[in-house]
């Protein structure tokens, strides 16, 4: 649970700095940060502001205004959908996806597919917490995921 970070500005800033450090090999290459609903909306804009780039929200079905593009994915208990607004990025833009946690990896893998469907390139996926036993990293390309804490 990353919610206690929100009450402590020093801890929150430290997490944003650590996420930024994970992007050192991509310095100058990042065009946009994409954040997954809901806690990716808390981390993503702060990281985007630090990097001087824009932020795009990736949301559950029906939550974004205007025309959207969607990717569906399987959960342990059914199906879900993640969406972005059409035109959220320009083809060829480099994107980093941010979320608080990765478990089985279904949501993150769908987010990667969504960015690719929009014409973007995913440089990196960043999370604060990785639940290693659930092996979510295996749904992503090699070395695509960076996490601050592993349990």
pTM comes to 0.96
pLDDT digits (tens, 9 = 90+) for 51-98: 999 999 999 999 999 999 999 998 878 899 999 999 999 999 999 999
- Which of 21, 59, 67, 76 is catalytic? The answer is 76
CATH architecture of 3-59+88-150: 3-Layer(aba) Sandwich (3.40)
Q: What is the pLDDT of residues 3-44, one digit of tens each?
A: 899 999 999 999 999 999 999 888 899 999 999 999 999 999
Residue 76 annotated in active site: yes
Residue 102 tokens read as 């990765």
| Annotated active-site residue in 39, 83, 130, 137 | 39
Mark whether 39 is an active-site residue: yes
Distance CA 119, CA 104 (A): 25
């Amino acid at each position: 649970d990353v919610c206690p970070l929100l009450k402590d500005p020093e801890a929150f800033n430290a997490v944003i700095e650590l996420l930024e450090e994970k992007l050192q090999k991509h310095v100058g290459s990042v065009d946009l940060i994409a954040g997954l609903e809901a806690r990716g909306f808390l981390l993503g804009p702060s990281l985007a502001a630090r990097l001087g780039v824009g932020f795009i929200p990736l949301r559950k079905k029906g939550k974004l205004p205007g025309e959207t593009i969607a990717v569906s994915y399987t959960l342990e208990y059914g199906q879900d959908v993640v969406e972005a607004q059409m035109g959220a990025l320009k083809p060829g833009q480099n994107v980093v996806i941010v979320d608080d946690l990765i478990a089985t990896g279904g949501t993150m893998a769908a987010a990667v597919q969504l960015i690719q469907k929009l014409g973007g390139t995913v440089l990196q996926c960043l999370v604060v917490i990785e639940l290693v036993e659930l092996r979510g990293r295996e749904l992503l390309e090699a070395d695509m995921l960076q996490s601050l804490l592993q349990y």
